[in-house]
Amino acid sequence: MQDEVGRYVITHKDRLLRLGADLVFAICEDKQAEVVILNQGEDTQRESGFEEAGIQHQNYLCVDLSKFGGTEKRMTETRAIQPSDLYQLRALAEPQMSADGRFTALVVIAVDKEQDGYIYELHLMDIQSGHVSIISSGANKLRSPRFSPDGGQLAFIVSQEEHGEHVYVGETSSLSALSNWTLNEGTLAGAKFKDLFTKRKLAAELSWFPDGTSLLLAQVSSTLPDVKEYANVYFKTDGTGLLRQVETQFWLVPLEGEPRQFYKQQSGIGTMAVSPNGSEIAFTVQKFPGKGSWEADIQLVNVESGTVRPLTDSNGPIRAISYAPTGNSLVWLGHQSAASYGTESLWMTDLVSGQSRALLPQFDRPIGVIQKGDVSPVSGTDRPVFSTDGQSVYFVAQDGGPTHVYKVGLDDGTPVRLTGDAQRCVSHFSVSTAGDVLFVSSTPDKPEELYLLRGGIEEQLTGINQAFCKQVRLAQASRMVFQGADNWPIEGWLMLPPANTSTANTATAQDAPYPLVLVVHGGPHGAFGCGFTLKHQALCGSGFAVLYVNPRGSQAYGTDFAAAVIGDWGGKDYIDIMNAVDKVVADGWADGARLGVTGYSYGGFMTTWIIGHTDRFQAAAPGGCVSNLISFQGTSDIGKHWGPKEHLANVYDGFETLWARSPIAYVKNVNTPTLLYHAEGDDRCPIGQSEEFYTALRDLGTEAVFVRYPGGSHSYGTTGKPSYRVDTQERLNRWFREKLGSTKSTVSSKKSP
């Protein structure tokens, strides 16, 4: 065993016992290889479990230990990572722990290349033994696995396109004893589940009532006539399209007996939660539906009578609500700022007075998952969780690059970071009643895995992406802090192509200076962080150094830093970014004659802005760009309420200001070959933004290519068809290779990045 195997799948534990299980387990532990036992019990037909696991589940390397010595060896040679590795990577989501801390449930998402979609698996792991049952798998989207309060049952939602959405419930112990992996499309393990409740469409999540005998579900119905009439300024949302008539019905669904609808309303909801005594539920609603603003409020509805009580009078967004164990208050994520750069924080609302207070008034960092890398097609899990004694709250926050789990006492306001000090991104978390923290985390050079923090000790529970990582060379990110405009300290990261050797994941200094691709994030109030980002890795895999920076405007550095780009898009943010380029060129890592730039959304704005203001880049690739702030205002779903706040100008009052800040105003200056890409269904930065820029470039005789992806939304790059995601990155790699080349150039002196 020379670190060549990431996971052993043992078909029959009893056979292994005969062969010296302790020795094998000790070796596996020493080599950090994971052990999965398929059949815990009797020595049945060897072939059954092995074949199902080995042949059908390509994620795991299966070793038949009964042959002892017949281990398959994985090749030790590594290869460059490439865009199509999206098909190999797995995303992990919604980890949940049973109340007794014995089991974890986890959604594992893989790409289905043939169907050009995603496969969702529900994994149930016995933490002590490491036994994993894959209890559901298929092309149907699976979400919201939730253990009953006593841990005895596991419920979840499966979305089966034409058959609507199903809620299944099964007994945890019998599910965990499953040894057969049922991986046929859409199958559930045996007849172990009850198909409890079905509706065409359900809200995002389910909740258990505290006595464990019933579930809370929200049914969502919507209608969209052929001919639409709107009398509000707000009429579409990116991702869901044109505004519809929506009705929400709340259902109490008992495990035995008839479901009961106890409340309905003529609008959608955000998140919901059941009170600790089960008598009431809290949910969030948009405050001004039709205005397109983000203010939300909390309402409470009595489960018995269906009477509703408004709780808050909020000035900002509210989401991810959680009841205190006493039932006297709720915590939630959101903010109370009218600004377009409002950063979500942690709030608590008293259920009697309706008064809200910030729990972290001094911790000026975004609470929640704002950046999680680019592999997973689903959002992070960041609902705050009360400790069992009700005295503190667990949450995730991004502070600079890293995102960690923290805990704060209700009255001390000082967060304590729980998940170490690594440059990592926690993308999903949950907390057990005993205070164990279960979380999904990735780093720039390690994709998502599941971890458990128990008694202050952190343990990696899965190795789902481990075998993949051993095949490829992964680039490491070197953090740098440099001077931006006004001498502000700005944070960024440089990744260098890993050396072409079978063992090292390190870059070789003698190959510098490298052709460089600068990547600009969206927002502008987004942020780069420490999550695994295939885009960056794939560019490095193609031989480029990759530079990514959090210029002013980014979140995670405080409100003033985020606010500093207001009314100044293309101003000091541009200087911050260009200073980073100057630094890596001056330090000898990047070849100043072979520079490329790409970015998405506001990153696309910055890309088109940069090439209108300098000829230093030999190639550009703006994606989903904003190129004209004037047309953006009336055509983007957020153009009317968000645009004027960002630019301090309106089309009817500040036309010149908007024009002066629009990349299209400088298109005559552009000499850089430009590849534009855009999803046709983008309602955030409509495709007209690329069309305008492309048409002007072609008109002016500048080299330009325009790639259009059918349908989709602004987030097609993470949630869209996998083939479009891979195609985008392959085109970017080809474009930059063609324009920047990938051969070595003359060496200059180097400082450490």
Q: 120 or 605: whose CB is closer to ligand LAAZK34X?
A: 605
The interface region with ligand LAAZK34X, picked from 33-41, 69-77, 548-556, 597-605 by CB under 6 A, is 597-605
Which of 384, 435, 492, 526 touches ligand LAAZK34X by CB under 6 A? 526
The interface region with ligand LAAZK34X, picked from 205-213, 432-440, 564-572, 594-602 by CB under 6 A, is 594-602
How many degrees, rounded to 5, is the angle at CA 715 between CA 549 and CA 652? 85
Determine, following the binding rule CB under 6 A, whether residue 368 of this chain makes contact with ligand LAAZK34X.
no
What residues between 216 and 275 interact with ligand LAAZK34X by CB under 6 A? none
**Least distance in angstroms from the C-beta of 602 to ligand LAAZK34X:** 3
**Which whole-number Å values give the CA distances from 424 to 373, 547, 562, in the listed order?**
10, 18, 22
Determine, following the binding rule CB under 6 A, whether residue 602 of this chain makes contact with ligand LAAZK34X.
yes
Which of 332, 347, 600, 609 touches ligand LAAZK34X by CB under 6 A? 600
For tokens 């609902």, what's the residue?
A: 383
**Least distance in angstroms from the C-beta of 626 to ligand LAAZK34X:** 5
- Give the C-alpha separation, 339 to 569, whole Å: 16
Give the distance from CA 608 to its chain's centroid: 26
Q: 463 or 526: whose CB is closer to ligand LAAZK34X?
A: 526
- Give the C-alpha separation, 432 to 437, whole Å: 7
Determine, following the binding rule CB under 6 A, whether residue 151 of this chain makes contact with ligand LAAZK34X.
no
The interface region with ligand LAAZK34X, picked from 121-129, 207-215, 518-526, 668-676 by CB under 6 A, is 518-526
Provide the H-helix boundaries in 129-214.
Answer: 172-176
Give the distance from CA 179 to its chain's centroid: 31
Asked if 37 and 129 touch (Cβ cutoff 8 Å), the reply is: yes
Determine, following the binding rule CB under 6 A, whether residue 403 of this chain makes contact with ligand LAAZK34X.
no
Q: 491 or 683: whose CB is closer to ligand LAAZK34X?
A: 683
Determine, following the binding rule CB under 6 A, whether residue 294 of this chain makes contact with ligand LAAZK34X.
no
**Least distance in angstroms from the C-beta of 750 to ligand LAAZK34X:** 32
Collapsed DSSP state (helix, strand, coil) of residue 241: strand
Which of 54, 145, 444, 523 touches ligand LAAZK34X by CB under 6 A? 523
Q: 429 or 642: whose CB is closer to ligand LAAZK34X?
A: 642
Q: Which two tokens stand for residue 145?
A: 């696995």
Amino acid sitting at position 328: N
Nearest CA among 97, 155, 156, 153 for reference residue 126: 97
Q: Which two tokens stand for residue 656?
A: 């010149």
**Least distance in angstroms from the C-beta of 679 to ligand LAAZK34X:** 11
Q: Which two tokens stand for residue 559?
A: 């409100």
* Bridge partners, 285 (sequence order): 297
Determine, following the binding rule CB under 6 A, whether residue 684 of this chain makes contact with ligand LAAZK34X.
yes
Determine, following the binding rule CB under 6 A, whether residue 685 of this chain makes contact with ligand LAAZK34X.
yes
**Least distance in angstroms from the C-beta of 590 to ligand LAAZK34X:** 24
Amino acid sitting at position 80: A
Determine, following the binding rule CB under 6 A, whether residue 713 of this chain makes contact with ligand LAAZK34X.
no
**Least distance in angstroms from the C-beta of 625 to ligand LAAZK34X:** 9
- Give the C-alpha separation, 429 to 383, whole Å: 8
Q: Which residues have a Cβ under 8 Å from the Cβ of 601 and sit 6 or more positions away?
A: 522, 523, 623, 624, 625, 626, 684, 685, 714
Which of 513, 522, 673, 753 touches ligand LAAZK34X by CB under 6 A? 522
Determine, following the binding rule CB under 6 A, whether residue 640 of this chain makes contact with ligand LAAZK34X.
no
Secondary structure E strands in 150-244: 153-160, 164-171, 187-188, 193-199, 207-208, 214-223, 236-237, 241-242
Q: 393 or 563: whose CB is closer to ligand LAAZK34X?
A: 563
- Give the C-alpha separation, 86 to 722, whole Å: 8
**Least distance in angstroms from the C-beta of 597 to ligand LAAZK34X:** 16
**Least distance in angstroms from the C-beta of 521 to ligand LAAZK34X:** 7
Q: 498 or 522: whose CB is closer to ligand LAAZK34X?
A: 522
φ and ψ of 520, to 5 deg: -115, 130
- Give the C-alpha separation, 220 to 201, whole Å: 6
Nearest CA among 351, 402, 406 for reference residue 384: 406
Q: 445 or 637: whose CB is closer to ligand LAAZK34X?
A: 637
Give the distance from CA 337 to its chain's centroid: 25
**Least distance in angstroms from the C-beta of 717 to ligand LAAZK34X:** 8
The interface region with ligand LAAZK34X, picked from 107-115, 522-530, 725-733, 735-743 by CB under 6 A, is 522-530
Asked if 180 and 49 touch (Cβ cutoff 8 Å), the reply is: yes
The interface region with ligand LAAZK34X, picked from 94-102, 249-257, 480-488, 520-528 by CB under 6 A, is 520-528
Determine, following the binding rule CB under 6 A, whether residue 549 of this chain makes contact with ligand LAAZK34X.
no
- Give the C-alpha separation, 188 to 223, whole Å: 32
What residues between 615 and 634 interact with ligand LAAZK34X by CB under 6 A? 626
**Least distance in angstroms from the C-beta of 370 to ligand LAAZK34X:** 9
- Give the C-alpha separation, 388 to 541, whole Å: 46
Give the distance from CA 140 to its chain's centroid: 19
**Least distance in angstroms from the C-beta of 294 to ligand LAAZK34X:** 10
Q: Which two tokens stand for residue 344?
A: 């979500």
Q: Please report how many Cα atoms fall inside a 13 Å half-sphere around the Cα of residue 718, on the Cβ side.
A: 19
Q: Is there a cis peptide before residue 513, judged by omega within 30 degrees of 0?
A: yes
For tokens 């049945």, what's the residue?
A: 44
Q: Please report how many Cα atoms fall inside a 13 Å half-sphere around the Cα of residue 631, on the Cβ side.
A: 18
How many degrees, rounded to 5, is the angle at CA 619 between CA 638 and CA 374? 50
Which of 141, 365, 424, 714 touches ligand LAAZK34X by CB under 6 A? 714
**Least distance in angstroms from the C-beta of 682 to ligand LAAZK34X:** 9
The interface region with ligand LAAZK34X, picked from 69-77, 435-443, 596-604, 698-706 by CB under 6 A, is 596-604
Task: Compute how many residues bind ligand LAAZK34X; rule: CB under 6 A.
Answer: 11
Q: 453 or 519: whose CB is closer to ligand LAAZK34X?
A: 519
**Least distance in angstroms from the C-beta of 641 to ligand LAAZK34X:** 11
> In what helix (H) or strand (E) does residue 467 lie, and over which residues does it extend?
helix 466-471
Q: 109 or 638: whose CB is closer to ligand LAAZK34X?
A: 638
Determine, following the binding rule CB under 6 A, whether residue 728 of this chain makes contact with ligand LAAZK34X.
no
Determine, following the binding rule CB under 6 A, whether residue 667 of this chain makes contact with ligand LAAZK34X.
no
In terms of DSSP bridges, do strands 674-679 and 704-709 run parallel, antiparallel, or are they unpaired? parallel
Nearest CA among 713, 714, 695, 717 for reference residue 705: 695
- Give the C-alpha separation, 97 to 329, whole Å: 24
Q: 144 or 601: whose CB is closer to ligand LAAZK34X?
A: 601
Nearest CA among 531, 528, 332, 333 for reference residue 427: 531
**Least distance in angstroms from the C-beta of 565 to ligand LAAZK34X:** 11
Q: 445 or 646: whose CB is closer to ligand LAAZK34X?
A: 646
Nearest CA among 518, 525, 545 for reference residue 609: 518
What residues between 271 and 290 interact with ligand LAAZK34X by CB under 6 A? none
Provide the H-helix boundaries in 31-181.
Answer: 46-56, 172-176
**Least distance in angstroms from the C-beta of 526 to ligand LAAZK34X:** 5
The interface region with ligand LAAZK34X, picked from 208-216, 358-366, 598-606, 663-671 by CB under 6 A, is 598-606
Q: Which residues bind ligand LAAZK34X (CB under 6 A)?
A: 522-523, 526, 600-602, 626, 638, 684-685, 714
